[in-house]
Amino acid sequence: MTPMVKVSGLTKRYKGLTAVDGISFEIPRGAVFGLLGPNGAGKSTTVSMLSGLIRPDAGEISIEGLDLWRRPLQAKAAMGIVPQEIALYPSLTARENLKFWGRLYRLGGRELSRRVEEVLDLVGLRERANEPLEKYSGGMKRRINIAAGLLHNPRLLILDEPTVGVDPQSRRAILETIKELNRQGLTVLYTSHYMEEVEELCSLVTIMDRGRIIASGRVEELLQLVMDTEVINLEMARPLENGALLEGVPGVKGVLVEENRARVMVEESRKNLAPVIEAVTAGGISVLSVVVEKPSLEAVFLHLTGRGLRDGG
Amino acid sequence: MRGLIPFYIALKDLLVLLKDKKALLTLLATPLVLILVLGSAFGSFWSEKAAPSPVLYCNDDQGQWGAFLFEEVFALPALKEKFTLEETRDLESARELVRSGKAAALIHIPAGFSAALLEGGEARISVWGDPGSSVRAQVVRAVVERYALELSSRRVVYQTLGELGLGGEEFYPRAERLLEALQLEPRIEDGLQRTAAGGMEPEAMDYYAAAMGVMYLLMTTTTMAGKFVQERQDRTLARMLQAPATPRQIILGKFMGVFLTGALQFAVIILASAVIFQVSWGSLPGVALLAAASVCGAAGIGMLVAALARTPSTADAAGLFVTLTMSALGGSMYPLFVMPPLMQAASKVTLNSWALQGFMKLMFAGGDLQSVALEAAVLAVAGLVLCLAASYCLRGEAG
């Protein structure tokens, strides 16, 4: 079966900086494909190329077997895009916004009205559909932002960091909506730097760093890379100057310092937790709290790059 | 459905503007207030009688119809109080006087004009006047055009009688009787009287209705430019480009949005000023053509500002600068016809000057659709050229 998306050798350069460096991947139909990486990894540039917004310097993209740059209108009609920004008109009501975006996707008449009501129901905002968006909360705007990408019943939904800046309740609603849409057969490309979301939603994950793909596969497969590694999160009374205090402590594979917090990758935390705390306190720093995490995609990234997902490029 | 995408974008832009109450107040109410204030403030100043303007003429015709124009037509009271005729034999110097603004116009009737008229040959009257010069030059042109039109009616009668073989001694009395029966003779007088009376001194309220209308038209289109740039910043433009719409459709839609908004605003100003201040805009088809062309020109300027500005605040500042500069230079603040010739020449680079020149012809010189064709063409072509330049600058939007 033709994959929903096929990307090969995709490259984009900006004034000497290679934002995306020859990446290739495929998204099978019906999958939720996660594109994970820190800010500046090249996720948004990849999404912009996939959605036909920017032209790659090299490489090919096909959507349902259609070359995106040779048959852009047909390929774009198969996609629903949910940009990272709330790309809507604040002075217009939710219904007016959705009708405008629906018309751009060639919907009209009763079909447009029906789809507008359906997506409003889906995101749970039908009751407030006649209010201008400027009166909405951030989370509600995000939900309309997603609804606008669903109007034309796309076969592929591309969501670029759709939960940035939303409250936990709205985030949960968004994630549940995406899961439900996928159950109905929609293929989803989901980019985020929140590893928990990607772990929860995605069947396939590709991790990008500095424009390149550094790992890809099923979530379980990626977690195998760090199966023997756990992360000890330490909160301290004052910042750890650097990770030098923990060098030489048995089982420590890496340390990530963020102000007065430290993330310490260790083998067998049960055995090595005490030596880690002792080394910190021996350096004159009080430990306020300790949390041990199970292996995660964040640990995978830390394992592969020596950096955290949230500390950027 | 695809072909309607530009239309949907334009409608959305109009809807967004209609929901912006502050912008609506600025773009609709403010010009009407300014028309009232400026029209009232300068009304008495404008109503003062101006000295008659010199009109140069060179009559090489030996027949009656050349002389009739200068001895009878320009002797009509409505024309006499505005123009003093000065005969000249040196056409080159006379043209220079017109160019330098020292004479309102130059009329030349060549030798054999009356004979050609009677014999059915080519009969031509030439009028020189700076197209951007005072209303009075346009009145001279309108009077001569009207005279030529009336003479051509007379010529048809002569030709018909000639073709019927009704010549001989009875030819002219018969022609006069026929003209009288057809009521052409009184029409010459009436027509010229009307044209001359139509060429009255500009009314301040009328002038400022057109002047503020054009100035705020520019303000509207450059405001829309700012909103276009805002769309780039808010990423709604990117979202449009991600939809199955071509960049060309999107740019056309944005142009149509600017055009539609400008047209709506100008129509409101024209109607409101006509109803509230009894402004007489002149020939309806002429006003419609000139208004549409002005909107096209202003939309082109707005699109170029949108294409060149990177941020909404830059677009707003550039739009204000363009609007105020063009309005000051182009006659929206200070009347064109009292500007010195150099300033009048410089004003030709502005949209305001071309639009106001056309509206003055319609308002004060009895002009019609045909008489504003030049101004409308200049404005429309300028608008389209600027829009093409804007499209060229925006071509990179889709990567």
pLDDT of B295 above 60: yes
Structural contact between residues A295 and A253, judged by C-beta atoms closer than 8 angstroms = no
d(CA B136, CA B108): 17
Q: Do A108 and B1 touch (CB under 8 A)?
A: yes
The alpha carbon of residue A36 is apart from the nearest alpha carbon of chain B, in Å, by: 22
| pLDDT tens-digit map of A177-211 | 899 999 999 999 999 878 888 888 999 999 999 99
Beta bridge partners of A81: A158
For the stretch A218-262, pLDDT in tens is 988 888 888 778 888 889 988 877 667 787 888 888 888 888 888
CB contact under 8 A, A81 and B239: yes
Show residues of chain B in contact with A48, CB under 8 Å.
Answer: 238, 399
Q: B21: distance to nearest CA of chain A, Å?
A: 11
Q: What is the pLDDT of residue B49?
A: 56
As a whole number, mean pLDDT of residues B205-218 equals 91
**In whole angstroms, how far apart are CA A159 and each of A49, A148, A282?**
13, 12, 47
* Res B345: pLDDT: 81
Whether residue B48 has pLDDT greater than 60: no
Return mean pLDDT, chain B: 82
Alpha carbon B237 to its chain's center: 36
B278 part of contact set with chain A, CB < 8 Å: no
From B4, B234, B242, residue closest to A76, measured CB to CB: B242
Residues A95, A101, A104, A108, CA torsion sign: negative
Asked if pLDDT for residue B143 goes beyond 60, the answer is yes
- A-chain residues within 8 Å CB-CB of B234? 85, 87
- How far apart, in whole angstroms, are the C-alpha atoms of residue A95 and residue A92? 8
Q: In whole angstroms, give the CA distance from residue B355 to residue B295.
A: 10
At A56 the pLDDT is 94
**Residue B207: is its pLDDT beyond 60?**
yes
> B108-123 burial string, b = 16+ CB within 10 Å, else e?
bbbebbbebbbeeeeb
Confirm if A155 and A186 have CB atoms less than 8 A apart.
Answer: yes
- pLDDT category of residue A48 using cuts at 50, 70 and 90: very high
- In this model, does residue B316 exceed pLDDT 70? yes
Residues of B in contact with A104 (CB under 8 A): 5, 8-9, 240, 243-245
Helix (H/G/I), strand (E/B), else coil: A97:
helix
- Rg (Cα) of chain B, in Å, rounded? 25
B252 vs A contacts (CB less than 8 Å): none
Most confident of A7-11, A250-254, B40-44, B199-203: A7-11
Q: How far is B262 from chain A (nearest CA, A)?
A: 20
Report residue B202: phi and psi, to 5°: -60, 140
| Among the partner residues B4, B19, B399, nearest to A53 by beta-carbon distance | B399
Looking at residue A312, its pLDDT comes to 45
**Domains along chain B?**
2-44+202-398 (no CATH), 51-198 (3.40.1710)
Mean pLDDT of all residues in B223-242: 90
pLDDT score of B164 more than 80: no
Among A87, A89, A108, beta carbon nearest to B238: A87
Q: Which residue of A has its CA nearest to B237?
A: A87
Long-range CB contacts (< 8 A, 24+ apart) of B24-30?
B26/B219, B26/B223, B27/B216, B27/B219, B27/B220, B27/B223, B27/B265, B28/B265, B28/B268, B28/B269, B30/B216
Q: Distance between CA atoms of B36 and B53, rounded to whole angstroms?
A: 29
- Chain B residues with CB under 8 Å of A55 CB are 398-399
Please state the rounded mean pLDDT for residues A42-61.
92
Q: Return d(Cα A146, Cα A126) in angstroms, integer.
A: 14
- Chain A contact for B239 (CB, 8 A cutoff): yes
Compute the distance between CA of residue A21 and CA of residue A42 in angstroms, rounded to an integer.
9
Distance from chain centroid for Cα B204 = 17
Q: Is the CB of B245 inside 8 Å of chain A's CB atoms? A: yes
**Per-residue pLDDT tens over the stretch B378-391:** 999 999 999 999 88
B397–chain A Cβ distance below 8 A for any pair = no
Per-residue pLDDT reduced to its tens digit, A20-40: 999 999 999 999 999 988 888
- Using pLDDT thresholds of 50, 70 and 90, give the confidence band for residue A152: very high
B235 contacts on A by Cβ (under 8 Å): 83, 85, 87
The pLDDT tens digits for B67-125 are: 888 887 787 777 777 788 888 888 888 888 887 777 888 898 888 888 887 777 777 88
Average pLDDT value for residue range B127-131: 73
Per-residue pLDDT averaged across B25-46, rounded?
79
pLDDT score for A80: 94
Given a cut of 70, is residue B171 above it in pLDDT?
Answer: no
Q: Taking CB atoms and an 8 Å cutoff, what residues of chain B touch A79? A: 242
For residue B199, what pLDDT is reported?
A: 47
Nearest to A91 among B9, B20, B240 (CB): B20
* B158 pLDDT more than 90: no
Q: What is the pLDDT of residue A79?
A: 94
- The pLDDT assigned to A313 comes to 39
Cross-strand partners of A267: A229
Q: Nearest by CB to B244, which of A48, A106, A148?
A: A106
- Please check whether residue A120 is in contact with residue A95, taking contact to mean a CB–CB distance below 8 angstroms: yes
ipTM score of complex: 0.83
Interchain pair A52, B4: CB under 8 A: no
Measured between CB atoms, does A88 come within 8 Å of chain B? yes
Alpha carbon distance A166, B131 (integer Å): 63
Question: Given CB atoms, is A10 within the 8 Å cutoff of chain B?
Answer: no
In this predicted structure, the answer to whether residue A150 has a pLDDT above a threshold of 80 is yes
Closest residue to B234, CB basis, from A81, A87, A106: A87
Q: Please report the number of interchain residue pairs, chain A to chain B, with beta-carbon separation below 8 angstroms.
A: 76
Averaged confidence pLDDT in chain A: 89
Asked if A151 and A105 count as a contact pair (C-beta separation under 8 A), the reply is yes
- Beta carbons of B344 and B132 less than 8 angstroms apart: yes
**B369-378 long-range contacts, Cβ below 8 Å, gap at least 24?**
B369/B283, B369/B285, B369/B286, B369/B289, B371/B138, B371/B142, B371/B145, B371/B286, B372/B286, B372/B289, B372/B290, B373/B289, B374/B131, B375/B290, B375/B293, B376/B289, B376/B290, B376/B292, B376/B293, B377/B293, B378/B293, B378/B354
A33 part of contact set with chain B, CB < 8 Å:
no
Work out the widest C-alpha separation in chain A, in whole angstroms.
Answer: 73
Cβ–Cβ gap B235/A83 under 8 Å: yes
CA closest to B399 among chain A residues: A54
**Any idea how long chain B is?**
399
